[in-house]
C-alpha cells in the first residue's frame, strides 16, 4: 500500500475507534453528539459552608461557556436541585461559585456541573447534617506540600467523613507577590492532584489559612501579598459566611448538631511579635478577638460541646520564651482563657490545632492559662494533628498524653449524640488509618459538663491492616 494511502486508512481507523469517546452524556443519561457539547473542562470542584439545608460549591472550568449550573441529586432518589452560578458571566479565571439552599437535612447528594443543559466533569458527593443531635465524623489537621498526592488523602476519603477542618498550609507556595493569580495557581495544583482532588470532591471543608498559604513563613498582617490572599480565598474557597469587608479576617463559626465549631484566622490580623515600641501584640486583631469572646459567651448558653480550631500551638509551657504559637501573644491568650473560664466552657471546649508537624493530645493538664486559676486546675482538651504530607517537626508542649512528630498524620473526631449524652472521641491516626501511640481521648458531655477519659486502643479503621 502507498504510504499516503496507508496514512489515510490508519487515520480513519483511529477516528472510528475514538467515536464512542466523542459523545457526552447529559444529566438524564442520554448520549449527545460531540457537536452538542459546548462546555469546558471542569478542572476542580469542592464544597464547604455546609449546613443541614445548604452548601457552597466552587469549581474552575477551562474554556467553558456561561451559563454554568450545578445539579445536586439525592443519592437515595427524589427531585434534583439545580442552582445558577453567583455570577452569570465566566471570566478568564473560569472560577464559578454557587450557594445552594433548600436541601433536605440528613441527605446524601451527588453533585455535578451542568453546562448548556449537559452534566459534565467529575461528580462529587456531599451529605447534609441532621438539624438536631446526630452522630458525625469530622477529620482535622494541617500542612501538605503543594499538590500533595500522598496516600493519606485516600485513607481519609475512605472514612467518608462528614466534614474536614483544614487549619492551614494547604500549600507551601509562600507567595509574597500581591497577585491573586499566584494563589489561584496554588489552589489549582492542590485541587487537581489526583488523590487530593478526589478527597475534596467528596468531603466538605472548613478551611482557614496559616502562614505558608497566606503570605509566607511566619507571615503577619504586614504580608505583602495579603490583599491577593484575601481576594483568592473569597474566589476559590467554599466557606461559611464571612464578616466585615474584603480584607477582614476570615474566621467562621457554625453548628453541627449540638456542636458549635469555631475556626479562627491566626494570620491576617496578626501583629509582629516584637515589643520594641512597648505595645502588646495581638494574634487575632481587635475585631476578631471581640467576635471570639462573644462566640464563647453565646456558645456557652446552648452548645453541648465547642470545638475551637486554633491553627497554632496554644500550650507553650515547655518554653514560654519560644517564638512559636501563642507564647509571644500571651496577654491575649490569658484574656481568652479567662473568658472561657468565666462563661463556664472549660470542660466543654475541645481545641484542635495544626502548624506543628506532629500529633499530640493534652487532657487539660497543661492548657490552663486563665489568670488566677488555682494551681493545678485543668484547662480544656487540646489535640494537634499534622502533618498531612510534610516533614516532621515538634512545637509547643508539654502534652500529657504525648506527641509524635511525623508525616502522613491526621485527627479524627467522632461525635455520638443521642440528644442527652454527647460523646466526642478524638484519635490521632497515621496514613494507614491506625491509631498513633496512646493518642486518643474521650469527652462525655451531659447537662453542660464534659468529663475526660481515655478510651484505650481504638479498633483499626480498616480490618485488613490489623491492630495498631
Binding site for Fe ion (CB under 5 A): 143, 169
What's phi and psi for 451, nearest 5 deg? -110, 145
CB of 371 to Fe ion, least distance (A): 31
Grid coordinates representing 261 are: 465549631
What is the spatial distance between Cα 359 and Cα 401, in angstroms, rounded to a whole number? 10
Query: 51 vs 394, which CB is nearer to Fe ion?
Result: 394
Query: 136 vs 268, which CB is nearer to Fe ion?
Result: 268
CB of 212 to Fe ion, least distance (A): 6
CB of 354 to Fe ion, least distance (A): 7
Q: Which residues lie closer than 8 Å to 221 by C-beta, 6 or more apart?
A: 267, 268, 269, 270, 271, 285
Query: 127 vs 395, which CB is nearer to Fe ion?
Result: 395
The DSSP string of 240-262 is SPP-SSTTS---EEEEETTEEEE
Query: 348 vs 384, which CB is nearer to Fe ion?
Result: 384
Q: Rounded to the nearest 5 degrees, what angle is found at the Cα of 417, between the Cα atoms of 411 and 419? A: 155
Distance of CA 109 to the CA centre of its chain: 19
The DSSP string of 388-400 is EES--B--S---T
What is the spatial distance between Cα 468 and Cα 458, in angstroms, rounded to a whole number? 8
* Element housing 48 (H / E): strand 41-48
Distance of CA 86 to the CA centre of its chain: 22
Grid coordinates representing 372 are: 488566677
Grid coordinates representing 217 are: 513563613
CB of 209 to Fe ion, least distance (A): 11
CB of 60 to Fe ion, least distance (A): 25
CB of 443 to Fe ion, least distance (A): 27
CB of 169 to Fe ion, least distance (A): 4
CB of 48 to Fe ion, least distance (A): 21
CA distances to 174, 178, 211, 349 from 227, rounded to whole Å, are 14, 7, 14, 33
Helix axes 180-191, 194-202, angle to 10 degrees: 90
Query: 169 vs 430, which CB is nearer to Fe ion?
Result: 169
Query: 218 vs 297, which CB is nearer to Fe ion?
Result: 218
| Contacts by 364-367, CB closer than 8 A, 24 or more apart | 364/400, 364/452, 365/400, 366/315, 366/317, 366/397, 366/398, 366/399, 366/400, 367/314, 367/315
Query: 143 vs 370, which CB is nearer to Fe ion?
Result: 143
CB of 20 to Fe ion, least distance (A): 46
Query: 94 vs 311, which CB is nearer to Fe ion?
Result: 311
Query: 109 vs 153, which CB is nearer to Fe ion?
Result: 153
Determine contact, residues 166/211, Cβ cutoff 8 Å.
Answer: no
Amino acid at each position: 500500500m502507498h504510504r499516503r494511502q496507508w496514512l489515510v486508512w490508519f487515520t480513519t481507523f483511529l477516528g472510528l475507534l475514538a467515536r464512542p469517546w466523542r459523545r457526552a452524556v447529559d444529566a438524564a443519561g442520554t448520549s449527545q453528539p460531540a457537536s452538542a457539547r459546548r462546555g469546558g473542562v471542569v478542572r476542580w470542584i469542592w464544597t464547604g459552608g455546609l449546613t443541614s439545608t445548604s452548601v457552597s460549591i466552587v469549581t474552575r472550568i477551562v474554556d467553558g461557556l456561561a451559563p454554568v449550573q450545578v445539579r445536586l441529586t439525592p443519592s437515595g432518589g427524589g427531585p434534583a436541585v439545580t442552582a445558577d452560578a453567583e455570577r452569570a458571566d465566566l471570566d478568564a479565571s473560569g472560577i464559578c461559585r454557587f450557594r445552594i439552599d433548600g436541601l433536605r437535612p440528613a441527605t446524601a447528594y451527588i453533585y455535578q456541573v451542568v453546562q448548556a443543559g449537559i452534566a459534565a466533569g467529575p461528580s462529587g458527593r456531599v451529605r447534609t447534617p441532621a438539624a438536631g443531635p446526630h452522630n458525625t465524623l469530622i477529620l482535622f489537621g494541617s500542612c501538605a506540600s503543594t499538590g500533595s498526592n500522598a496516600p493519606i488523602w485516600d485513607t481519609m476519603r475512605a472514612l467518608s467523613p462528614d466534614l474536614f477542618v483544614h487549619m492551614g498550609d494547604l500549600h507551601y507556595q509562600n507567595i509574597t507577590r500581591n497577585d491573586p493569580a499566584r494563589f489561584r495557581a496554588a489552589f489549582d495544583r492542590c485541587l487537581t492532584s489526583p488523590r487530593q482532588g478526589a478527597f475534596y470532591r467528596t468531603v466538605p471543608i472548613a478551611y482557614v489559612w496559616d502562614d505558608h498559604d497566606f503570605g509566607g513563613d511566619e507571615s503577619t498582617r504586614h504580608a505583602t501579598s495579603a490583599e491577593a490572599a484575601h481576594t483568592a480565598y473569597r474566589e476559590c474557597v467554599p466557606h461559611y459566611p464571612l464578616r466585615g469587608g474584603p480584607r477582614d479576617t476570615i474566621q467562621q463559626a457554625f453548628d453541627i448538631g449540638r456542636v458549635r465549631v469555631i475556626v479562627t484566622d491566626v494570620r491576617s490580623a496578626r501583629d509582629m511579635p516584637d515589643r520594641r515600641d512597648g505595645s502588646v501584640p495581638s494574634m487575632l486583631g481587635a475585631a476578631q478577638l471581640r467576635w471570639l469572646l462573644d462566640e464563647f459567651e453565646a456558645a456557652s448558653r446552648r452548645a453541648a460541646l465547642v470545638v475551637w480550631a486554633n491553627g497554632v500551638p496554644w500550650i507553650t509551657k515547655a518554653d514560654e520564651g519560644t517564638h512559636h504559637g501563642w507564647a509571644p501573644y500571651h496577654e491575649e491568650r490569658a484574656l481568652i482563657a479567662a473568658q472561657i473560664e468565666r462563661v463556664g466552657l472549660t470542660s466543654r471546649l475541645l481545641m484542635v490545632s495544626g502548624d506543628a508537624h506532629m500529633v499530640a493530645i493534652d487532657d487539660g493538664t497543661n492548657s490552663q492559662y486563665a489568670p488566677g486559676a488555682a494551681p493545678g486546675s485543668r484547662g480544656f482538651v487540646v489535640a494537634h494533628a499534622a502533618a498531612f504530607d510534610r516533614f516532621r517537626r515538634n512545637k509547643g508542649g508539654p502534652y500529657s498524653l504525648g506527641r509524635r512528630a511525623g508525616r502522613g498524620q491526621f485527627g479524627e473526631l467522632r461525635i455520638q449524640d443521642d440528644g442527652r449524652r454527647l460523646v466526642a472521641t478524638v484519635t490521632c491516626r497515621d496514613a494507614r488509618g491506625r491509631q498513633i501511640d496512646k493518642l486518643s481521648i474521650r469527652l462525655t458531655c451531659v447537662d453542660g459538663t464534659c468529663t475526660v477519659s481515655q478510651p484505650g486502643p481504638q479498633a483499626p479503621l480498616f480490618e485488613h491492616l490489623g491492630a495498631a
